[in-house]
Amino acid sequence: MTIDNCVTDAGPAVALFNSLGDPARLAIIRCLTIGEQRVRDLVEQLGLAQSTVSAHVACLRDCGLVEGRAEGRQTFYSLSRPELIDLLASAETLLAATGYKVALCQNYGTAKRSI
């Protein structure tokens, strides 16, 4: 890595990680790794309000991470990029390697956060 790579605009990467940083959106992404889901399916699995799931799916769709396929009056959502599964797998590997210490972080730890 060169110094030029260190100082390039990190905006897109920050936006990507922010889009995955919300517990509900990350849970939706994880549910979609197993295949297509309707908002109704996600509501049942996550125990969240339909309006909450719809808003988060719309956000993920706007970010280009999720796409919808209409079938009659229903829309089935799926991951738009298979690389997202690899990213999540890499994150799990990193968490395991660090002993999940990030969960104890005072700024970003999970003690205060849940879906």
- Digit-by-digit pLDDT tens for the chain (115 residues) are 555 666 677 888 888 888 898 999 999 999 999 999 999 999 999 999 999 999 999 999 999 999 999 999 999 999 999 899 999 999 999 988 887 788 778 777 765 555 5
- Domains in the chain: boundaries: 8-81
In 3-state terms, what secondary structure has residue 36?
Answer: coil
The per-residue pLDDT for 105 is 80
The per-residue pLDDT for 72 is 96
The per-residue pLDDT for 6 is 64
Instruction: Enter the pTM of the model.
Output: 0.81
DSSP labels, 20-81: HHSHHHHHHHHHHTTS-B-HHHHHHHHT--HHHHHHHHHHHHHTTSEEEEEETTEEEEEES-
The domain made up of 8-81 has a fold known as Arc Repressor Mutant, subunit A (1.10.10)
Contacts 24+ apart (CB under 8 A), 94-100: none
The per-residue pLDDT for 7 is 62
The per-residue pLDDT for 33 is 95
The per-residue pLDDT for 113 is 52
